[in-house]
Structure 1
Amino acid sequence: MNARAQLSEDIFLLSALKASEKKAFDKLFRKYYPMLCAYCHRFVDLEDAEEIVQDVMLWLWENRETLIIETSLSQYLFKMIYRRALNRIARQDVKHRADTHFFEEMHEMLQNADFYQVEELTHRINKAIAALPPSYREAFVMHRFREMSYKEIATTLEVSPKTVDYRIQQALKQLRTDLKDYLPLLLLLY
């Protein structure tokens, strides 16, 4: 397909999309999803790339009636993907630096703690984790100790990634409450 035909098709799809035609959105999704995922995967891992592209496509559908695109549709989508990938990288970098900082502080704290204090803390954490509702505990353990992604956990448990996120957040909330006297150690878990 030449550039002129491509542009013409995109203008038609965009017009139909603004008119809330689901078939136009489906066609647009099928047309752009693979190439946007491949492009985004240049910056982030495939799972994050797919999530970013899905979020952009959902945003496109939700904002279809007020959408103003001054460039071509493909340029617009690629710029959105690029910006969101950079934002994801920046968030991951900040989280990694914070995790490293907390780990170093916890490591230093544990170096200064005697064996019995560490044993008592470990016992309290295990007890608090065991007290979690089974579905929360299962998702929490898979994520924190088996280092499984939300998507992997969702597949294993046959639930949505949003359900996994909810369960882990609820587990963390309960652990923060149960272990409030040991807040510095909670930072290591979070």
Structure 2
Amino acid sequence: MSLHGSLKSTADFGRCYEAYYPMLCMIAYEYTRDKVLAEEMVGDTFLALWEKRESLEITTSVKNYLIKSTQNTCLQYLRKKKLQIRRISDETEWEHIPWSDDYPLGQLFEKELSDKIAQAIETLPPKCREVFQLSRIDEMSYSQIAGALQISENTVKTQLKTALSRIRNALRDYLPIVLILLANGRV
């Protein structure tokens, strides 16, 4: 189906914008965690759609096309931001400039991720949480943990594997933030 055929007029395009804009902003917000930035990403998506309307061929529904386009716009933005952060880090002797007081969004990302990690740890079963904290926070070896808790090293490994899996699962929606922090060596 051609886009031009489904959005024949400015009025049709306007109705499409009104119908999908709120949903697309929610999707973009999941990537950016910033309302204004999310709205900008969706605006860019609609602008690109308008500019290509005469030649664009859509093989799925307009809704699915817009969702995918919004996701791609957000991912492109995050990749670009990651490269900018890396370039700034490479070009200066002050490695943490993007996360300074002049970069509140970075601080917000870092705090939000830290809070989510703490929440994920708190939801672990008690023994699993204890093994995780001894390993990752107290930096104890498997044998030290096994001795302290009077359990086998295999049990320590199993509990730690379970903890990491649950934490990873709890943080799966925060991949964009993790990518930005990784780019700056913060994780």
Could you state the TM-score of these two structures normalised by the residue count of structure 1?
0.45
Could you state the TM-score of these two structures normalised by the residue count of structure 2?
0.46
**Structure with the larger RCO, 1 or 2 (CA within 8 Å, 6+ apart):** 2
